[in-house]
Structures are given as C-alpha cells and as structure tokens.
Amino acid sequence: MRHDATRGTALAAAAAVLLLAGCGSDDPVNHPWRPGGAPTDAPAEAPVASDLSGSVAGAGASSQESAMQAWVAGFQSANPDVSVAYDPVGSGGGRTQFVEGGVAFAGSDAPLDEEELAAAQERCAPGEVVEAPLYISPIAVVFNLEGVDSLAMSPATVAGIFAGTITRWDAPEIAAENPDVALPDLGITPVNRSDESGTTENFTEYLHATAPEAWPHEPSGDWPVSGGQSAQGNSGVVQTVTDGTGTITYADASKAGSLGTVRLGVGDEFVEFSPEAAAAVVDASPRAEGRPATSFVVELDRTTTAPGAYPLVLISYTLACTAYEDPATGELVSAFLSYVAGEAGQAAAADTAGSAPVSDALRSEVLPVLEGIG
C-alpha cells in the first residue's frame, strides 16, 4: 500500500510538472495576445491614459493573423480597458460575418464583390462601407538548392516551372537568366498550397497577368495544376521545400526563412522582394473605379515596369462601416483602425509579420476616413 501511495504521489508530481511545462510553452509572458505583452521591439508609445473601454470583435483572413496579433497587443497596451478579438476564420468567412453584422470589422484578401458590396452597404446604412488596404505583404518565390541563394527569373520562367513545362534546374531558360550561377542537373519539384488561399490567388493572378502564354490557367484560390507536391498553409509549403531537394514554392515572404529566393523580372531588371518594393507597386497601381469614396480598393498593376517595384504582393483589406448602430462600437473601431493605419501600427506589423508598411500617400487618404468612423 505504502508503495502504491508513493507511486501515486510521484505520478501526480510528474503530471503537475508536465502541466506547468505546458503552460510555459503556450503562454509565454511576452506573448502578444497576453494583456500588456506587447512585442518589446515595437515602437514605444507614451502610455496615454485613455478613457476608451469595451470590446470589439473582428474576423477574416488568416493572412493578417500575425499582424493582427501585433496590432491588438499594441492597441491594448495603450488602451488597457479595451479588448479586441480577431478570429482568423478565412476571408470568405470574414466577409460573410461582416455583411451579416456578426462582427464589427473584417479582414479579407479580396475586395467585396458586387453582390457583397450591395449587402454590406445595406448593413452599414446610413453609413458607408470602408475597404482599406492596411496589410500589404510580399509573396516570395523560394527554393531549396544547395549552394544557390538567389536566382533571377522572368515571369515566363516562373510560370513555366510551376506549369510543369520547365522540369530541370539546368534548363536553358533558367541558365540564360543566371549566367553566373552553377546550376545542378536536378529535377524541379514545384510545391503548391493544398488549401484554398489568398496567396495562391495572388500568385496565379500574377502569373496570368505577366506570362499569359506560359501560364494558361485562370487566377484561382485553388491551385489549378493537379498531381504535384502540395502542403497546407505557408509554413507547410516552406517545410516541404526545406525537406526536399530541388524544390520550389511561393509563400508569404515573412515565412521564407533561410531558403533561396527568386528575384522577379520587372521590366528590364530583376527585383528582390522587400517591404519598400512591395509598397511601391501599390502606389504605382490605380484605384478601382465605381466604388464608394470610402473604398480604397487598388487594381494591382502586376505588369508594372516602375523601377524597384515588386509586383507579387498580397493585399489584405480591412472592412468596416463609417457608422455603427452602437456609437460606442464605432468609437472603438475608429480608434483601433486609426492605430492600425498609423505609423506605429504599420511598423509593429512589419516587425512581427514582415508586411510592407503602407506609404504616406495612401495613409493621408485613409486616415481621415478611419478617424471619422462613429
């Protein structure tokens, strides 16, 4: 009996240790979701004694998730009585919930289509719908090839590789664009996303616009070529590329890690991805027409030849209304989104999620609208 009791105590102690260890890894003191646990390298803000209080909920694109964590943490540290929740259910789910009035704001990798816009205007009446491109993220084309860190590729070459017409690393198309690189005699294994995603949609849209001959498929959130390697999520494809040899994929630039990256052909030069280059293509692109004045939807010019612009970017929009039934909600949404669009918010997202801060020109247009929400 005595023996059993000792063993029981030992087991309980072991379980307790395991539980504590579990807490330790799940809930680090400085985790961004933890109240007051703002990333330490975020720009320090003066601790303003704010009188805002209450809670506000949003939902939508998972691409914005890590940026949203930084924004929520930054905003809550300045406004300790406010709680902001963001459910990364996906763009489609976010748009639906926003239109149905389930959430006060939403994140979406695509602007509202005509039908959704009409329904959203009804929801926001008498106010207007706000669509603001507050999360701009470069998509990197990354590969795993021993001894090669960087390759230059024109859009047609990238399209050929992912469409399966260029199958070897020492193919003449790649060799012609990289005369100084010793390319191995190795098969290319393209890896794509297996789940429906905004990253895939933007990548196929880019290939469709820039290399229509090499890429015969329509833009789509689902990968159009079947029978290849694929994995779930940005981290999944990057893991797959890391595990294989001669593999190549497209992924959110912040997840690229130490893999080799492709410099994309823009006009006559090859551009490496960077936050500045990504922001440059948004500035170079025209606004979409036929939408409300508070909608800042950009028609991305993928074929731009503007110097230093990196046209393979994902824009994730923030959806909100200019007026809410409950003025308290409006006040909170206004304060939160103004912070997100502000320099501090954009810098926090750039630090955590590797996104490109919006340009001053865009900010000067968007901020007055966001501050006017009530």
Partner 1 sequence: MSTSDTPPVRQEDDDLQAARRPHRDTAGRVFAGLSTGAGTLILVVLAAVAAFLLLRAWPALTAGSEELAAISWIPDHGSIVRYVGPLVFGTLVAAVLALLMAVPVAVGIALFISHYAPRRLAASLGYVVDLLAAIPSVIYGLWGGLWLSRRLEGVWGWLADNLGFIPLFEGPAATPPRVMMTVGVVLAVMILPIITAVAREVFLQTPRLHEEAALALGATRWEMVRMAVLPFGRSGLISASMLGLGRALGETMAVLMILSPGLTYSFALLLAGRHQTIAANIALQFPEASPLGVSALIATGLALFVITLAVNMAARWVVARRKDFSGAN
Q: Which residues bind to partner 1, rule: CB under 8 A?
A: 62, 89-93, 187, 189, 191, 194-197, 220-222, 226-232, 236, 240, 243-247
Residue 363: phi and psi, rounded to 5, are: -60, -40
The CB-of-91 to partner 1 minimum distance in angstroms stands at: 7
Q: Which two tokens stand for residue 254?
A: 């912040």
The CB-of-197 to partner 1 minimum distance in angstroms stands at: 7
Distances (CA, A) of 107 to 230, 315, 320, 368: 26, 10, 9, 20
Q: Which two tokens stand for residue 339?
A: 């912070």
Q: Which two tokens stand for residue 195?
A: 């789940």
End-to-end CA distance of the chain: 70
CB nearer to partner 1: give 194 or 285.
194
The CB-of-74 to partner 1 minimum distance in angstroms stands at: 26
- DSSP code per residue over 227-272: SSEEESHHHHHHHHHHHSSSEEEEEEGGG-TTSEEEEEEETTEEE-
Q: Which two tokens stand for residue 62?
A: 């998972």
CB nearer to partner 1: give 143 or 273.
143
CB of 108 closer than 8 Å to CB of 95: yes
What gap in Å lies between CA 80 and CA 285, rounded to an integer?
38
What gap in Å lies between CA 263 and CA 334, rounded to an integer?
39
CB nearer to partner 1: give 22 or 307.
22
CB nearer to partner 1: give 148 or 344.
148
The CB-of-307 to partner 1 minimum distance in angstroms stands at: 36
CB nearer to partner 1: give 193 or 263.
193
The CB-of-232 to partner 1 minimum distance in angstroms stands at: 6
The CB-of-246 to partner 1 minimum distance in angstroms stands at: 7
The CB-of-191 to partner 1 minimum distance in angstroms stands at: 8
User: How many other CB atoms are there within 10 angstroms of residue 75's CB atom?
Assistant: 27
What gap in Å lies between CA 227 and CA 167, rounded to an integer?
14
CB nearer to partner 1: give 195 or 272.
195
- Find out whether the peptide bond into 32 is cis, omega within 30 degrees of 0: no
Distance of CA 127 to the CA centre of its chain: 28
Is beta strand 105-108 parallel, antiparallel or unpaired with respect to 269-271?
Answer: unpaired
The CB-of-228 to partner 1 minimum distance in angstroms stands at: 5
Beta carbons within 8 Å of 29's beta carbon, 6+ residues apart = 37
